[in-house]
Amino acid sequence: MAQKPDALVPVDPARPLDAYERTYMAGEGTVLFRDKVRANGRWHAAFAALILSCVYPVAFGGSSGALLVAMVLPVLLVTWTLYMFLRVTVSEAHVHVQFGLAGPKIPIAAIEQAEVIEVDWNRYRQLSRAGERIYAMARAGRRAVRIVWTDAEGGRQVTLIGSDRAEELAAQIGRARQALPASASPAALEAG
């Protein structure tokens, strides 16, 4: 039997899910796309330098500031660990983005547009710019998927997701949108 062109095909399970993805990003219904991008060497070097700059004076200069280091060091280590990955899951119900603990769970029914764009990440020095929320590991010359969607209050949102697999991500969002029942509307699903 031939498959309908808008039929949802599950993501290839070639990469096993980690514990975080199994617990928090399982997806609802058929999962069409998964991506997990690791931070690059500059990210690790920056955090290592920050941690060393906190520890070095205490280790070699006496106990002055030891309490401050004892309070700051765990926060730095947790932050380093949490923001080491950018994860994206597209299921038949949502586009779920997680950069650390932050990121939207966008209802497929709320998406107006998803398109691949070229992005100069050097221009984006913050998490949001001109009303756009940005989720990406900063690397020059990368592509992103720009998603325009309506939140539960009726406000228009724009989310950029940096990905080396931007074309595939946008295509799977499009497939999920095409497979929506005719009765689905932005008000039918609330953002998670």
Residue 175 CB burial class (10 angstroms; 0-12, 13-18, ≥19): buried
The DSSP-derived string for 49-99 is: HHHHHHHHHHHHH-STTHHHHHHHHHHHHHHHHHTTEEEEEEESSEEEEEE
User: Number of structural domains, the chain?
Assistant: 2
* 1 — pLDDT class (breaks 50, 70, 90): very low
DSSP 8-state class, residue 190: -
Tens digit of each residue's pLDDT (9 = 90 or more) over 162-182? 888 899 999 999 999 998 877
Q: What is the CATH number of the domain that holds 154?
A: 2.30.29.30
Residues 48 and 74 in one domain: yes
Residues 182 and 138 in one domain: yes
In this model, does residue 190 exceed pLDDT 70?
A: no
Residues 48 and 113 in one domain: no
| 12 within domain boundaries | no
Tens digit of each residue's pLDDT (9 = 90 or more) over 21-70? 888 888 888 889 998 888 777 777 887 887 777 777 666 666 666 777 77
* 156 — pLDDT class (breaks 50, 70, 90): very high
Q: Across all residues in the chain, what is the average pLDDT?
A: 79
Parent domain of 64:
42-81
Residues 30 and 62 in one domain: no
In this model, does residue 106 exceed pLDDT 90?
A: yes
Structure tokens at 143: 């592509």
Residues 106 and 179 in one domain: yes
Residues 141 and 72 in one domain: no
Residues 144 and 130 in one domain: yes
Tens digit of each residue's pLDDT (9 = 90 or more) over 68-90? 777 777 888 888 888 888 899 99
